Amino acid sequence: MKFVAFERAMQGTGASRRLRISGKTPGIVYGGDTQPQLIELDHNALWHALKKEAFHSSILEMEVNGAVSKVLLRDVQYHPFKQLVQHIDFQRVDARTRLTAKVPLHFKGEEESEAVKLNHNLVNHVMTELEVTCLPADLPEFIEVDLTGLTSGATVTVKDVKLPKGVKFVPHGNKVNPVVASAVAPRVEEEAAPAAEGAAPAEGAAAAKPAAKGKK
């Protein structure tokens, strides 16, 4: 994806507020061998771009003053309750340097799996993205997770996911093989057994009193 940005001369809280009032969003580009670059973007164009999954997970082409450079979206700050992007950060991309990025997961095949089709399991998508490391040219827009072989009560972990060539999962702490998706069997509630015909009355039930005879 390609987008257009403009150099930003002014910085500070007041300058950023004036930019937002004029329909612009302040931003910064950092990384590489050059100094961080202050930029501004058209807010409406940016707002629509942020709705696209590729804008968050792929290498972007940023044009500033006619020069195009490759960047990766790193952070977006939204207003707490308004539909407003307050600030955005990009990182320059070096084609020869490995980068770390979060890539969305696309699930397929769960409706055809044994877990769902035969056993009526509910499939829980435990993870919606994977953090990976790779060269910029190898960064995928998304990673596909095939759930066709999922069986009742089973799980799919990171090691079960086929990663694209050159892409490696980035573990955190002791979670070297976390669960990506799981099949959960539906609960089966036992029905109460019907009372047998002619059964004795419940214990503790009061016996019927015979009718009192009148005095002669």
Domain boundaries, the chain: 2-92, 99-184
41-70 tens-digit pLDDT: 999 999 999 999 999 999 999 999 999 999
CATH match for 2-92 among 2.40.240.10, 3.40.50.12710, 3.30.70.3270, 2.130.10.10: 2.40.240.10
CATH fold of 99-184 reads RNA Polymerase Alpha Subunit; Chain A, domain 2 (2.170.120)
Residues 160-175 have a mean pLDDT of 94
Which stretch of DSSP H or E encloses residue 56?
helix 53-57
Q: Report which residue type is found at 44.
A: N
Task: Output the DSSP codes for 175-216.
Answer: BSS-EEEEEEPPP-PPPPPPPPTTPPPPTTPPPPPPPPPPP-
Whether pLDDT at 24 is above 90:
yes
Percent over 90 (pLDDT), the chain: 75
CA distance 113 to 107: 12
Outline where DSSP puts E strands in the chain: 2-7, 24-30, 37-42, 60-64, 67-78, 85-92, 99-108, 122-125, 129-134, 143-146, 155-157, 168-169, 179-184
